[in-house]
């Protein structure tokens, strides 16, 4: 607290200044407040030697925790938190992309075939010329994808007939197959378009030359040549013409 110089000898005391709000004066430039003097405070003298007033000048410190000050602090804290959160989100996004790419790289490939020989499928009688064949019907995704995989033998007049819903180019291969095979690519009318040989374990597909293949018949390798079955011959079944049989997959 800062006080004015001590009054001159013989100065008479004056009543203390009123404490009402009107009597107080504020100096905004210096942030000083006039306040009534307390007993024992020193006062300064006027020109006639008498007391000028019985007041003291009190400096009051700036109140940091006034409402406006608290609001300012809250705004600063909020901005700092928002900045930190934005930084965390950015870093998270940057690290998420490599992880996603790694997950895609390490993802197991999707296989529709079984990891073992499938049980014997439903059979139908086929006739090619004078030859009668007991053919299993592969219709579902798993049945077509697995085919003759892991089978260890195929009898002379046994085969597997693959049924498709729509004609298209076909590509057959011999992944996980142990028995040498020959395959006939057949058009929607049930006529043989092309005959190919397939070697055990060869994973490179053998494409059909036509994109109008709706059926494929697998037989023991060399069967078509041994029984004089050639391209152009039409297949009939115990359920009517082959063209009446329809698969599920395109």
Give the chain's domains with CATH numbers. 1-75 (no CATH), 123-244 (2.60.120.1140)
Residue 185 forms beta bridges with which residues?
A: 194, 216
H runs (alpha helix) in the chain: 67-106, 141-146, 223-226
Count of Cβ atoms closer than 10 Å to residue 5 Cβ? 9
Write out pLDDT tens, residues 36-55.
545 555 545 555 555 544 44
pLDDT of amino acid 1: 41
Q: Say if residue 104's pLDDT is above 50.
A: no
Burial class (CB in 10 A: 0-12, 13-18, 19+), 215: buried
Closest to 215 in 3D by CA, of 114, 118, 133, 102: 133
pTM, entire model: 0.58
């Amino acid at each position: 607290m800062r006080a004015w110089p001590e009054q001159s000898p013989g100065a008479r005391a004056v009543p203390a200044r009123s404490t009402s709000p009107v009597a107080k004066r504020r100096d905004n430039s210096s942030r000083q407040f006039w306040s009534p003097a307390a007993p024992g405070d020193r006062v300064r003298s006027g020109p006639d030697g008498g007391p000028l007033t019985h007041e003291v000048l009190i400096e009051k410190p700036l109140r940091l925790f006034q409402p406006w000050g608290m609001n300012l602090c809250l705004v600063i804290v909020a901005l700092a938190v928002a900045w930190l959160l934005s930084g965390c989100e950015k870093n998270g996004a940057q690290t998420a992309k490599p992880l996603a790419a790694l997950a895609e790289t390490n993802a197991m490939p999707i296989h529709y075939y079984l990891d073992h020989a499938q049980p014997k499928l439903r059979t139908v009688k086929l006739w090619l010329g004078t030859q009668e064949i007991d053919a299993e019907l592969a219709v579902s995704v798993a049945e077509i994808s697995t085919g003759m995989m892991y089978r260890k033998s195929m009898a002379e007049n046994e085969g597997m007939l693959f049924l498709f819903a729509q004609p298209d180019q076909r590509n057959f291969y011999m992944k996980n197959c142990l028995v040498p095979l020959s395959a006939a690519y057949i058009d929607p009318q049930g006529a043989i378009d092309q005959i190919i040989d397939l070697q055990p374990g060869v994973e490179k597909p053998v494409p059909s030359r036509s994109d109008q293949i709706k059926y494929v018949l697998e037989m023991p390798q060399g069967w078509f040549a041994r029984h004089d079955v050639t391209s152009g011959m039409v297949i009939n079944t115990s359920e009517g013409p082959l063209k009446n049989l329809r698969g599920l997959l395109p």
